[in-house]
Amino acid sequence: MKYIDHHAHMASRTTDDYAQMALTGCVALTEPAFWAGWDRSTADGFDDYFRQLMEFEPRRAAQYGIQHYTWLGMNPKESDNREISLEVLARLPKHLDHPTVLGIGEIGLNRVTVNEITTYTEQVALAARHRQLVLIHTPHLEDKLKGTRITMDVLLNQRDLPAGRVLVDHAEEHTIEMILEHGYWAGLTLYPQTKVSAPRAVDMIEKYGPDRILVAGACDWGPSEPIAVPKFIAEMRRRKHSEDLIHRVVFQNPVQFLSQSPKFKAPAGVEDAVSTRAR
Amino acid sequence: MKSTPVPSPLTPTQIVDEYFIETRNRIIEVAAFLDRLDRADPEIASQDFRVKALHQALELVLAGSATGRVREIQLLMSDQDDRPLASLDRKGAVGAPDPSNRSPRA
């Protein structure tokens, strides 16, 4: 089945992973800017990374017939550093017209510090000013609940940013309701140890329905799976859900969200997807 | 804005048939972890905040909940203090709120 993975950190994956994704039906992916596992020392380091996301990864993906798009921003793990954050944010607008940049992301909170909230709030305002889509990271483990609450407070105070243009990612059972009830998109990221397993993701689809829910592998340099979405598809089939419902979640929904950027060129099969509108 | 739930097409018995073996395995893994700790130090359950949280989670599994066991356990494992940290204390989360963490809050 054809699918789109809206969250894949391919910069930290091998070319074989692109091959595996293509072989399992991936036709497009989007790659948010994130933490490399160590802190960069200058804003120039971020510019080099952004160039990798805008220029090198699309070429690597294209070899396997996968469309590659990206999101740029100051990631949550480094956003406590105000000095570099301010410099990175000042440079961001010059990249926003690049043909594969869909918006600002992944931004948000990590340990939920005062500095992180300031940087996140500034990036949300920047996204609103430049009419960008937004992809938001919510914190890990015990920090997720309070971090998502504050994430939502900042969004709700930014009235110039339509809820339907914001994806709040890494949702789990205790945060998904507060995301959906305000009209935002919720992302379920499938991990082998943390966040959400495929069976729990299916549970949440069953409980909340498929509207405004996306699933992704969010593969990165840690324990994670580039083919998590096809495993989710297998889990949906194991529950005997219809092929139409599965297609809706793994293809139509991402097309619906991402197509809000005119730069996103939907893969073949989009005719079905654009006819599905979120209520 | 409310979406329509999609009930599982599986019957209750089919759900048990499909998921029993792997769930059986998981609960044995939990027991094995606790036995391992007991062999190392029987007192650890009363000392380590993460193990204490696991014991409380097991009670929630048995008690059940109208809002769902998973949600209740997620809340149990969450820092309920919404006040931001005044400064960054470390990069990562550890899985359960640490009552001994005295990082200043704003």
Specify whether the CB–CB gap between A210 and B3 falls below 8 A.
Answer: yes
| Residue B25 located in a structural domain | yes
Q: What is the pLDDT of residues B6-62, one digit of tens each?
A: 999 999 999 999 999 999 999 999 999 999 999 999 999 889 999 999 999 999 999
| Residue B65 located in a structural domain | yes
Q: B71: which chain A residues are within 8 Å (Cβ-Cβ)?
A: 173-174
Hey, are the CB atoms on B96 and A207 less than 8 Å from each other?
Answer: no
Hey, are the CB atoms on B94 and A142 less than 8 Å from each other?
Answer: yes
- What is the C-alpha end-to-end distance of chain B, expressed in Å? 35
For residue B47, give both structure tokens.
Answer: 């000392």
Specify whether the CB–CB gap between B76 and B60 falls below 8 A.
Answer: yes
Q: What is the pLDDT of residues B82-91, one digit of tens each?
A: 999 999 999 9
Q: Kindly identify which residue of chain B lies nearest to residue A204, measuring between CA atoms.
A: B5
Among A109, A112, A110, A130, residue whose Cα is nearest residue A120: A109
Q: What is the pLDDT of residues A112-152, one digit of tens each?
A: 999 999 999 999 999 999 999 999 999 999 999 999 999 99
Among A264, A227, A222, A186, residue whose Cα is nearest residue A30: A264
CATH at A260: 3.20.20.140
| Residue A279 located in a structural domain | no
Which residues of chain A fall short of a pLDDT of 50? 274, 276-279
Quick one: pLDDT at residue A209?
A: 98
| Residue A242 located in a structural domain | yes
Q: Which domain holds residue A178?
A: 3-274
List the helix and strand counts (H, then E) for chain A.
12, 8
* Number of structural domains in chain B: 1
Helix (H) or strand (E) holding A213: strand A213-216
When pLDDT is cut at 50, 70 and 90, the band that residue B77 belongs to is very high
Asked casually if ipTM beats, i.e. exceeds, 0.85, the reply is yes
Q: B69: which chain A residues are within 8 Å (Cβ-Cβ)?
A: none
| Residue A45 located in a structural domain | yes
The minimum CA-CA distance between B72 and chain A, rounded to whole Å, is 8
Q: Which domain holds residue B37?
A: 12-76
| Residue B86 located in a structural domain | no
| Residue B96 located in a structural domain | no
| Residue B32 located in a structural domain | yes
pTM over 0.90: yes
| Residue A143 located in a structural domain | yes
* Number of structural domains in chain A: 1
d(CA A106, CA A109): 10
Q: A145: which chain B residues are within 8 Å (Cβ-Cβ)?
A: 74-75, 78-80
Put simply, whether B3 touches A (Cβ < 8 Å) is yes
Quick one: pLDDT at residue A193?
A: 85
Quick one: pLDDT at residue A271?
A: 53
| Residue A266 located in a structural domain | yes
Q: Kindly identify which residue of chain B lies nearest to residue A38, measuring between CA atoms.
A: B91
Q: What is the DSSP letter of A117?
A: H
| Residue A251 located in a structural domain | yes
| Residue B84 located in a structural domain | no
| Residue A243 located in a structural domain | yes
Q: What is the pLDDT of residues B43-58, one digit of tens each?
A: 998 899 999 999 999 9
For residue A254, give both structure tokens.
Answer: 């991402």
Quick one: pLDDT at residue A194?
A: 84
Q: Which of residues 171-200 of A touch B (CB under 8 A)?
A: 172-174, 180-183, 199-200
Quick one: pLDDT at residue A106?
A: 98
Q: What is the DSSP string of A216-255?
A: E----SSS--TTHHHHHHHHHHHTT--HHHHHIIIIIHHH
Sequence-ordered list of residues with C-beta below 8 angstroms from that of B5, at least 6 positions apart, any chain? A206, A207, A208, A209
